[in-house]
Structure 1
């Protein structure tokens, strides 16, 4: 993107990846292919009235899409209203195994439902006051609490949507979303397309210094070729075509060639493969039990992010195959330091797309954390993307971390 005028320079700064609030989705360029605008006066748009813009009025460019969601059509009018979005929209780009629960959101955050281009005089901003649950560990979902009750929201004419599980094959989908970029009319737009079966996906963040708590790894991200999903579209609800219930939220997409930094890539046969023009959504199935019929949210059934902590040493999430010595290649090391707040660890390693961390098969015997068994552990000698799955036990406890909440670290062997 070239910026020649003063206005252009300003817009480039505003939409630069380093300052853009939606780093998993770059803003749309001026010549982008955009999805059609939705109209508040079209009868088919009624099911999107709960969808709106999540925005910060402090700082530069923070904008995502979110949806009013409850566990029933008739939530308790005294309960605080809730919205569903992507995890990186709710709490920012948290680490690969981090979970944020019940934390104040801070001032200057708002949600505007029914964010259509032709009902601007009816737009109302509702403050966002709390992060109830947000994570990028194995998924990318976030739930936020609003500063108004369900009774107040319903009185304004906004009804919550509900979630449902995906039964059987992945259906054709449609999406209501609010992309941002170098074009006018940043309002609700409509995309529809087919989807493929879930894939293993990884992505890291564009940064001057590599973050050691990345890459993110989403073992069951659902790919689709829907057009027009750019910065601001993150967190938008995914529907089975024509339905009212939400089956997922939009997370990320590959808009440039390559893998890794700001470029999500699928893993096939242990190897990274970039599918240009593909977007990915996170299933909301694991949240079904948390949204209660009275309109509240109970995160007790979800991963609390309290599993064994493993710190990556070194400078990045990839390593080269070791040097050749006496005609043989020498492996390099994983170089992972285990937090000594834990006493014991069990782990397994394998190609990221073929190693289900939630299944106990393949885990080794318990080892003492004091021995730091992951520091000098040799990496595989075959290039590819590998997952290290680990569960831990704290001193004095008899309880191990559940397999379903295993800590996962990815390493790419170049």
Structure 2
């Protein structure tokens, strides 16, 4: 059964993006040295029973108090100077509200000051390029000395330029502050050093961040969480593939925590928070539901947070000033090949849908490319092995890879250069991720209705992308309306999230089906009213 599907535009998706979860994460399952329960494989699927008729309207659950046994972070105070070492960690608005850290990268008092945060905080979410020396879309600031008990001592510094910002294979931004190291030192604010190596898995670590307030927790100043470092993993979240991330169980990671530092035993920064796993079972590898690429395939872990390593980043600074071309700088800077995935991010394999296509465009001196493709869990774009021979873009402007018939993730890696023998190193590859998805949305659907009126009943539908992305419905006399018949279904405008059915003058049957982003259609749910 094929029905109409409303797939939101990519711009609309980005407008709602929050890589670090909103809301209370008190129910998070902490990791212990990287071992986490509640794995949800991408291909897990339980065939639904057809024609599930849910109960009538159910009152929502009452407010549930947080579990006191769950680890919490502590709000930091500095009136007595006890936390002076954290004065260089503050609230960034660039323009997203995140956490940023003043860096200690050497140089004299006249050296420029830099702050480190997550790349997605600049709202430049492209997965196929990095930005250097780019002016922010609107003037920003970082507020240091961001303690709850010294509000009058807060110190705001303007930010207009990101020296580096990228979500291509990483999630980091280095902000140029409109001040000097010496001026901040005079204000009692010192930078924090970058670590030279990551701690061992299982090590005790610290997170200091400035998450936003929630309904249950109005405090939004600096807070400290004590946690454990998990394993290094490859991570996928929607369009982004991060081949080197570290898991952690730091408490109360939520909106505003993005960019907050993970500190080792010496107090040096070795990673910055970039995302966390929400309990959203229908959004595997999607926004707010990152998945780890394990040998058996993608897997998700509720409540686990992830950070991007920055150990060794000090090599990108010379005499206190950023130099992305400096020897040993791990940031992959410079232009990369102009590419675009022609096919959709989510695809349903069929006899007529068998390939993934990535198009290449000759620009900025790039005339040739090399490419490879394979399962995301076993294909590393940074590895030179597996790339095909160099091809001229003009002669072969589209790279095609087979679309697997089994559910899972495939990555296409492309890298370019000005000649066949001058292709950029694999560190500059662009990764395009595609999900093969032949699994229909499962029943019961996230659909509910109000208590019926005398001759009408109002329904509500919840969008849970990418699984429950669109809905169609039909209604008619109960005796003659067949929910299995695709004829007669009408599109439900999910922007409003509701529709009303009126009585047919007797028993009335209502049918609803859901569609996902791969155009799989669910079995129908049905109700009978006005009997």
Instruction: Report the TM range for the smaller structure's normalisation.
Output: 0.7 to 0.9
Deviation at 1:229, TM superposition (A): 0.5
Deviation at 1:114, TM superposition (A): 1.9
Cross-structure match for 1:27: 22
Q: For residues 408 and 387 of structure 1, do their structure 2 counterparts lie closer, same or farther at Cα, with a shift above 3 Å needed?
A: same
5+ long unaligned stretches in structure 1? 1-16, 205-214, 324-329
5+ long unaligned stretches in structure 2? 1-12, 25-62, 438-531
Cross-structure match for 2:275: 252
Cross-structure match for 2:99: 65
Asked if structure 2 preserves the Cα contact closer than 8 Å seen for 1:312 and 1:335, the reply is: yes
Deviation at 1:392, TM superposition (A): 1.4
Whether 1:122 aligns to 2:179 is no
Whether 1:332 aligns to 2:354 is yes
Determine the C-alpha separation between the residues in 1 that align with 2:102 and 2:361. 38
Determine the C-alpha separation between the residues in 2 that align with 1:393 and 1:106. 30
Q: Which moved more, 1:78-87 or 1:265-274?
A: 265-274
Whether 1:317 aligns to 2:345 is yes
Cross-structure match for 1:298: 323
TM-score (norm 2): 0.65
Q: For residues 247 and 44 of structure 1, do their structure 2 counterparts lie closer, same or farther at Cα, with a shift above 3 Å needed?
A: farther
Q: Between Structure 1 and Structure 2, which shows a larger proportion of helix residues? A: 1
Deviation at 1:167, TM superposition (A): 4.6
Cross-structure match for 1:268: 294
Cross-structure match for 2:92: 54
1:371-401 Cα shifts (integer Å, max 9, x gaps) = 4364543223333212212221225x85211
Determine the C-alpha separation between the residues in 1 that align with 2:211 and 2:129. 27
Cross-structure match for 2:259: 235
Cross-structure match for 1:288: 314
Cross-structure match for 1:157: 188
Q: Which moved more, 1:113-122 or 1:39-48?
A: 39-48
Cross-structure match for 2:219: 185
Determine the C-alpha separation between the residues in 2 that align with 1:188 and 1:19. 27
Deviation at 1:42, TM superposition (A): 6.3
Determine the C-alpha separation between the residues in 2 that align with 1:232 and 1:104. 22
Asked if structure 1 preserves the Cα contact closer than 8 Å seen for 2:139 and 2:160, the reply is: no
Asked if structure 2 preserves the Cα contact closer than 8 Å seen for 1:331 and 1:380, the reply is: no
Query: What's the Cα RMSD here?
Result: 2.5
Asked if structure 2 preserves the Cα contact closer than 8 Å seen for 1:200 and 1:352, the reply is: no
Deviation at 1:346, TM superposition (A): 1.4
How many residues matched? 371
TM-score (norm 1): 0.83
Asked if structure 2 preserves the Cα contact closer than 8 Å seen for 1:70 and 1:291, the reply is: no
Q: Which moved more, 1:22-31 or 1:120-129?
A: 22-31
Whether 1:101 aligns to 2:132 is yes
Q: Which moved more, 1:367-376 or 1:355-364?
A: 367-376
Q: Between Structure 1 and Structure 2, which shows a larger proportion of strand residues? A: 2
Deviation at 1:261, TM superposition (A): 2.8
Secondary structure of 1:159 counterpart? coil
Deviation at 1:169, TM superposition (A): 2.4
Deviation at 1:102, TM superposition (A): 0.5
